[in-house]
């Protein structure tokens, strides 16, 4: 199951504007001591100061609420994160040799001194040494390759409080082997979706048809985007004998389905994979929909939750909740995923783990959907589940929160639905804005959630309103709790003892506890820096209140916040190899990798789909 959870800045709290981040309708930010509000979705290239540049107010998602706002004094003009520029020379290497990596073009908007930290993210099987791992520029020496290999390097740039990172892929091939070498961008050439080129020290992937548009200048949502981690170029696309060329299909290899399924079974036959699959197993919907408060036939995990949180407790914890967030829907959401508050056969205390899981989940969706209104008589920790749909959005609005272009792999894998004829927005894409307790957003999250619930990606892409109007509104929060998102572990495994941080995790401040769950949910926005962000502090406050109400002990040494905490990366123990990628060492095969692709080892049939995608094969159903 593939999760690509975009960083979303929660509404209601005015924080310093962070360049390059995503904001949603209702978010308030401070910039240059002025208070701004996002009227609708604001992308990384939409800046608050655009309000002074546009001719009409609808040309920018931002509006200025107040100049020289008191709450922004000393805040909006405060520290801004570094702007990272990363280059590598050469990008393509034949044989062994040295690579120069440079972040010399990085700048800081505030003029702060910058520090640098280099690391290798892939491959795990070959580790290289940085000559100066903490300098603005460094060199690595790659050994002679035995096959085409993609190296993924990352630099983290910090101003002492905020940090940003960038990645670059180096393609190394055997001498005389042109496979995997990315061609340089050509202004006169035509490129189509998934084409890879080298330009300005980076590898770029085309999202759709393009000619003449310069990679690196089209923005985060433009035609050229940074290539996925570990991406390697195919053979020369101009080779007329390329069998993947539609004009010259060649003779496809015949592969037996039984062989592919046997290979998939062998590659996923490990205790770790079995543990992950057990943690995300689901109950049939017909059984889920028979769950009712107090029913003797309720699954064991539901009965455990009922003992800890009664219907009266639910009313007390969430007195201002939307009616759709009913106690029955809560129990059904729990019942769909038996590992949530499930049993353990190794001596772990299932009830204690369940109490902590409930306090954690309640705290997070109170931050995501809470009223955040000090004037209400209820304390803010009891103001959760107020919002069913993201503020500013309705079911009739089109073209929101979707990477829908079929030329993108996201749009191909999780195809957006169109409004039907007769609708005011007929022929336009439906919107995948935040719905439910987790405020599930984007087609590439609705699709995987749909697959987990219904066994297909289409149901919720066609009818996203179900995430708000049915028991899925709370099941979505449980889904997000139990599913891993490599390189991040699942929140379930982060708190039940399954995830054991390695030395790299510990060096980055990643330790089991409530704080690391905030890093999992929204670390790119709320974590890092020398002090706790307001949103993270809210989560801590809510967690402590729910922990007290549910009888959850909070050890003195538990890390509750995520200040000074580095983000998860592929060197950590949470970077599980649960995605399928082309196996470059042999034909008609895919391999497990620990970076995200369109094919998940947790989804039945994705191995076969991976082979079909990457190779010209005819699969014989034997």
The answer on 189 and 51 residing in a single domain is no
Question: Is 233 domain-assigned?
Answer: no
Q: In 10 A of CB 223, how many CB atoms?
A: 21
pLDDT digits (tens, 9 = 90+) for 495-547: 999 999 999 999 999 999 999 999 999 887 789 888 899 899 999 999 999 99
* Overall average pLDDT of the 592-602 stretch: 84
Q: Which two tokens stand for residue 425?
A: 């927005």
pLDDT band at 14 (very low <50, low <70, confident <90, very high): low
* Overall average pLDDT of the 446-458 stretch: 94
Round the CA-based radius of gyration of the chain to a whole number and report it: 25
- What is the C-alpha to C-alpha distance for residues 545 and 141, in angstroms, rounded to an integer? 52
Angle at 223 between CA 216 and CA 447, to 5 degrees: 120
- Residue 149: which CATH number? 2.60.40.10
Question: Is 449 domain-assigned?
Answer: yes
The answer on 334 and 431 residing in a single domain is yes
Last residue of a domain, one of 27, 49, 72: 72
Question: Which of 236-240, 352-356, 506-510, 576-580 is the most confident on average?
Answer: 352-356
Question: What integer pLDDT is reported at residue 232 of this predicted model?
Answer: 62
Question: What integer pLDDT is reported at residue 45 of this predicted model?
Answer: 64
Going by C-beta distance under 8 Å and a sequence separation of 6 or more, which residues neighbour residue 506?
none
Question: Is 262 domain-assigned?
Answer: yes
- What is the C-alpha to C-alpha distance for residues 310 and 543, in angstroms, rounded to an integer? 19
Share of the chain above pLDDT 90, in %: 50
Q: In 10 A of CB 611, how many CB atoms?
A: 24
The answer on 213 and 103 residing in a single domain is yes
pLDDT digits (tens, 9 = 90+) for 163-176: 888 888 888 887 76
Catalytic residue among 368, 390, 526, 532: 368
Question: Is 77 domain-assigned?
Answer: no
Split into its structural domains, the chain has a count of: 4
Question: Is 341 domain-assigned?
Answer: yes
* Overall average pLDDT of the 111-115 stretch: 90
- By residue range, what is the domain housing residue 606? 257-277+577-620
The answer on 296 and 272 residing in a single domain is no
The more confidently predicted of residues 338 and 16 is 338
Please name every residue paired with 225 in a beta bridge, in sequence order, or none if there are none. Answer: 205
pTM of the model: 0.64
Q: 148 with 173: CB under 8 angstroms?
A: yes
- What is the C-alpha to C-alpha distance for residues 586 and 181, in angstroms, rounded to an integer? 17
Sign of CA dihedral 50, 51, 52, 58: positive
pLDDT over 90 (residue 9)? no
Question: Is 357 domain-assigned?
Answer: yes
Question: Is 459 domain-assigned?
Answer: yes
Annotate 453-497 with DSSP letters as a single string: HHSSSHHHHH-TTHHHHSTHHHHHHHHHHHS-BTTBPPHHHHHHS
Of 74, 70, 23, 72, nearest to 50 by C-alpha is 23
Last residue of a domain, one of 423, 449, 483: 483
Going by C-beta distance under 8 Å and a sequence separation of 6 or more, which residues neighbour residue 609?
599
Question: What integer pLDDT is reported at residue 74 of this predicted model?
Answer: 63
- What is the C-alpha to C-alpha distance for residues 420 and 428, in angstroms, rounded to an integer? 9
Q: 390 with 24: CB under 8 angstroms?
A: yes
The answer on 213 and 302 residing in a single domain is no
* Overall average pLDDT of the 107-131 stretch: 86
- What is the C-alpha to C-alpha distance for residues 107 and 3, in angstroms, rounded to an integer? 31
pLDDT digits (tens, 9 = 90+) for 301-335: 999 999 999 999 999 999 999 999 999 999 999 99
Share of the chain above pLDDT 70, in %: 90
Question: What integer pLDDT is reported at residue 6 of this predicted model?
Answer: 41
The answer on 300 and 208 residing in a single domain is no
Element (H, E) at 97: strand 97-102
Question: What integer pLDDT is reported at residue 389 of this predicted model?
Answer: 95
The answer on 312 and 267 residing in a single domain is no
The answer on 211 and 147 residing in a single domain is yes
- What is the C-alpha to C-alpha distance for residues 377 and 541, in angstroms, rounded to an integer? 17
- What is the C-alpha to C-alpha distance for residues 228 and 238, in angstroms, rounded to an integer? 22
Question: What integer pLDDT is reported at residue 75 of this predicted model?
Answer: 58
pLDDT digits (tens, 9 = 90+) for 235-293: 444 443 343 443 344 567 899 999 999 999 999 988 888 889 999 999 999 999 999 99
Residue 105: φ, ψ to 5° = -80, 0
Query: Is the bond preceding residue 241 a cis peptide, omega within 30 degrees?
Result: no
Of 137, 140, 144, 138, nearest to 129 by C-alpha is 140
The answer on 304 and 184 residing in a single domain is no
- Residue 414: which CATH number? 1.10.530.10
Q: Which two tokens stand for residue 551?
A: 């009888």
Question: What integer pLDDT is reported at residue 20 of this predicted model?
Answer: 63
Annotated active-site residue 612? The verdict is: no
- State how beta strands 8-9 and 22-23 pair: parallel
Question: What integer pLDDT is reported at residue 181 of this predicted model?
Answer: 64
The answer on 433 and 297 residing in a single domain is yes
The answer on 135 and 193 residing in a single domain is yes
Going by C-beta distance under 8 Å and a sequence separation of 6 or more, which residues neighbour residue 345?
none
Question: What integer pLDDT is reported at residue 198 of this predicted model?
Answer: 78
Q: In 10 A of CB 186, how many CB atoms?
A: 12
pLDDT digits (tens, 9 = 90+) for 42-100: 776 678 888 877 777 777 888 888 888 877 776 545 567 788 888 888 888 888 999 99
Where b means 16+ CB within 10 Å and e means fewer, 341-379 reads bbeeeeeeebeebbbbbbbbbbbbbbbbbbbbeeeeeee
- Residue 32: which CATH number? 2.10.10.20
From residue 239, alpha-carbon distances to 91, 93, 120, 379 in Å are 21, 21, 33, 67
The answer on 477 and 341 residing in a single domain is yes
* Overall average pLDDT of the 413-422 stretch: 94
- What is the C-alpha to C-alpha distance for residues 258 and 263, in angstroms, rounded to an integer? 9
Question: Is 267 domain-assigned?
Answer: yes
Question: What integer pLDDT is reported at residue 5 of this predicted model?
Answer: 45
- Of 146-150, 201-205, 207-211, 220-224, least confident by mean pLDDT is 220-224
SS3 57: helix
Last residue of a domain, one of 483, 503, 527: 483
- 8-state DSSP, 195: -
pLDDT over 90 (residue 355)? yes
Mean pLDDT score across all residues of the chain: 86
Question: What integer pLDDT is reported at residue 11 of this predicted model?
Answer: 39
- What is the C-alpha to C-alpha distance for residues 157 and 138, in angstroms, rounded to an integer? 14
């Amino acid at each position: 199951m593939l999760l690509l959870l975009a960083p979303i800045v929660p509404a209601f709290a005015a924080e310093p504007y962070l360049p390059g981040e995503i904001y949603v309708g209702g978010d308030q930010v401070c910039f240059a001591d002025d208070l701004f509000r996002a009227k609708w979705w604001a992308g990384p290239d939409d800046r608050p100061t655009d309000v002074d540049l546009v001719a009409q107010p609808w040309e920018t998602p931002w509006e200025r609420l107040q100049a020289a706002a008191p709450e922004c004094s000393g805040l909006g003009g405060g520290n801004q994160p570094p702007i990272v520029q990363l280059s590598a020379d050469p990008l393509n290497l034949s044989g062994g040799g040295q690579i120069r990596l440079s972040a010399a073009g990085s700048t800081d908007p505030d003029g702060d001194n910058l520090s640098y930290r280099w690391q290798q993210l892939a491959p795990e099987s070959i580790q290289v040494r940085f000559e100066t791992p903490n300098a603005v520029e460094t060199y690595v020496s790659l050994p002679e390759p035995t096959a085409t290999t993609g190296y993924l390097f990352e630099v983290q740039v910090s101003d002492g409080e905020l940090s940003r990172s960038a990645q670059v892929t180096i393609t190394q091939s055997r001498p005389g082997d042109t496979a995997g070498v990315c061609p340089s961008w050509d202004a006169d050439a035509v490129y189509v979706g998934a084409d890879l080129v080298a330009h300005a020290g980076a590898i770029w992937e085309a999202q759709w048809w393009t000619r003449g548009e310069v990679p690196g200048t089209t923005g985060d949502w433009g035609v050229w985007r940074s290539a996925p981690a570990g991406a390697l170029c195919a053979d020369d696309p101009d080779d007329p004998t390329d069998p993947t060329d539609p004009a010259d299909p060649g003779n496809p290899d015949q592969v037996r389905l039984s062989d592919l399924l046997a290979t998939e079974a062998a590659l996923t036959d490990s205790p770790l994979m079995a543990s992950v699959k057990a943690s995300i197993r689901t109950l049939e919907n017909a059984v889920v929909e028979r769950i009712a408060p107090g029913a003797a036939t309720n699954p064991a995990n539901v009965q455990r939750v009922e003992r800890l949180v009664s219907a009266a407790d639910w009313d007390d914890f969430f007195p201002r909740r939307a009616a759709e967030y009913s106690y029955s829907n809560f129990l059904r959401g729990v019942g769909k995923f038996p590992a949530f508050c499930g049993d353990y056969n190794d001596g772990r205390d299932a009830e204690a783990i369940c109490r902590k899981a409930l306090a954690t989940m309640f705290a997070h969706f109170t931050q995501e959907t809470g009223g955040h209104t000090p004037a209400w008589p209820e304390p803010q920790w009891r103001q959760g589940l107020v919002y069913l749909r993201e503020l500013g959005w309705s079911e009739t609005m089109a073209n929101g929160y979707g990477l829908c272009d079929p030329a993108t792999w996201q749009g191909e894998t999780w195809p957006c639905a169109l409004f039907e004829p007769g609708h005011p927005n007929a022929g336009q894409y439906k919107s995948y804005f935040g719905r439910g307790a987790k405020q599930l957003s984007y087609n590439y999250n609705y699709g995987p959630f749909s697959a987990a619930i219904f066994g297909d990606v289409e149901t919720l892409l066609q009818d996203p309103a179900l995430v708000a109007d049915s028991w899925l509104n709370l099941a979505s929060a449980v889904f997000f709790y139990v599913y891993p998102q490599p390189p991040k572990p699942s929140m379930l495994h982060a708190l039940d003892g399954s995830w054991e941080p390695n030395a790299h995790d510990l060096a980055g401040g990643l330790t089991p506890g409530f704080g690391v769950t905030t890093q999992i949910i929204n670390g790119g926005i709320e974590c890092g820096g020398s002090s706790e962000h307001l949103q993270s502090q809210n989560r801590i406050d809510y967690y402590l209140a729910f922990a007290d109400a549910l009888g959850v002990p909070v050890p003195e040494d538990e890390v509750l916040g995520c200040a000074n905490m580095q983000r998860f990366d592929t060197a950590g123990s949470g970077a599980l190899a649960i995605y399928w990628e082309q196996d470059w060492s042999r034909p008609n095969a895919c391999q497990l990798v620990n970076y995200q692709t369109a094919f998940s080892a947790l989804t039945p049939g994705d191995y076969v789909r991976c082979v079909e995608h990457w190779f010209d094969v005819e699969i014989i159903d034997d």
